[in-house]
Amino acid sequence: MLLPPSVRYCDGLVSDVARDAWSRAARNWVRHNETPNNMNDLIERPAMQALLGEVAGKRTLEVGCGLAHYSRWLAQQGAEAWGLEPAPRLLELAQAMAEAEGAGLALRAGGVELLPEYPDGHFDIVLLPMVLEYVDDLDETFRQAHRVLRPDGFVAISIVHPMRNLSVKHLTADGEELRIVSGYLNSGVYEWSLWIMKDDDGNDITCRSQRRTLQEHVEPLVRAGFLIEAILEPDAAPAAWRIDAARCKENRHCPQFLLLKAVKRER
Ligand SMILES: C[S@@+](CC[C@H](N)C(=O)[O-])C[C@H]1O[C@@H](n2cnc3c(N)ncnc32)[C@H](O)[C@@H]1O
């Protein structure tokens, strides 16, 4: 199987390793987010914001909020924004950023494991942005998300597109960059220490993720009682092309993100 360098399948669970790795990589995640051509800002976040629609007056929970990009934006839009973040250094940075912006967020230390602590029907929207690969049990996560949502509330999910995840760059004879994915159906836990996983001194950090297919994301959502209302594979907007045409072209060849909106239905 063709895999990117530093990726190897392994045994075990992901969540504890991922929490510690993300905490150590916190500064590098800040740097990534400050880069004007980061693909989250260029493609994923505008698509998610469109998917969320009108949020003023809604109570939202962002699970694995990182630097709370979404929660800070939600608060600006008039939502009552709650957030969970298990990586201590990311949580600290998110709290400092929210304070500097005067955004009143309810941020709390912890990950999906804390969902059972919230009352039934407490939220209008549960966001799971770029976090599911660090979650071991999707069935339990979606069951809990379903429970804490009010009737007709929804989950908003973004992930690395499963057809892009663990892809390898290939340069054609005429210089075009393509992405090749192999072993698509080989789900499981893998270790990696690619670009983002660096500590404050630039040393590699080993993180763990779950490789899952599209089917493996959709089935537990449906089992939990959700109706899938939207699937997005976002193209870059013209403004993003002006910032980094090469990456936007590559995204058109092989989309980097996939987003899902799934609405709560009574079971
Ligand atoms: C790629 S970052 C995304 C951060 C943020 N959601 C965003 O979109 O900017 C992945 C995040 O998942 C968090 N995470 C790791 N394990 C988790 C878990 N078990 N539950 C919730 N979040 C987790 C990490 O700490 C990190 O903040």
- Residue boundaries of the structural domains of the chain: 13-161+213-245+255-264
If you measure from the C-alpha of residue 187 to the centroid of ligand 1, how many angstroms do you get, rounded to a whole number? 20
Half-sphere exposure of residue 68: CA atoms within 13 angstroms, side-chain side: 33
Mutate to test the pocket of ligand 1, among 131, 159, 209 (most ligand atoms within 8 A of CB): 131
Nearest of 114, 117, 98, 97 to residue 106 by alpha carbon: 98
Alpha-carbon distance of 259 to 51, in angstroms, equals 8
DSSP E strands: which ranges in 57-138? 59-63, 80-85, 106-109, 123-129
Calculate the alpha carbon distances from 44 to 21, 84, 161 in Å.
22, 20, 11
The matching CATH number, chosen from 3.40.640.10, 3.40.190.10, 3.40.50.150, 3.30.300.180, for 13-161+213-245+255-264 is 3.40.50.150
Alpha-carbon distance of 143 to 81, in angstroms, equals 21
If you measure from the C-alpha of residue 117 to the centroid of ligand 1, how many angstroms do you get, rounded to a whole number? 19
Q: What is the pLDDT along the chain (267 residues), one digit of tens a residue?
A: 899 999 999 999 999 999 999 999 999 999 999 999 999 999 999 999 999 999 999 999 999 999 999 999 999 999 999 999 999 999 999 999 999 999 899 999 999 999 999 999 999 999 999 999 999 999 999 999 999 999 999 999 999 999 999 999 999 998 888 999 999 999 999 999 988 999 999 999 999 999 999 999 999 999 999 999 999 999 999 999 999 999 999 999 999 999 999 999 977
What three-state secondary structure class fits 127? strand
Ligand 1 binding pocket includes 206 (Cβ within 6 Å): no
pLDDT at 8: 97
> Residue 168: which H helix or E strand, with range?
strand 168-171
pLDDT at 176: 85
Alpha-carbon distance of 85 to 146, in angstroms, equals 19
pTM of the entire predicted model: 0.97
pLDDT at 61: 98
pLDDT at 131: 98
Alpha-carbon distance of 263 to 126, in angstroms, equals 10
Atom 18, ligand 1: residue with shortest CA distance: 111
Q: Are 135 and 212 in contact (CB under 8 A)?
A: no
Ligand 1 binding pocket includes 128 (Cβ within 6 Å): no
Q: Are 186 and 9 in contact (CB under 8 A)?
A: yes
Mutate to test the pocket of ligand 1, among 28, 29, 33, 134 (most ligand atoms within 8 A of CB): 134
If you measure from the C-alpha of residue 86 to the centroid of ligand 1, how many angstroms do you get, rounded to a whole number? 7
Ligand 1 binding pocket includes 15 (Cβ within 6 Å): yes
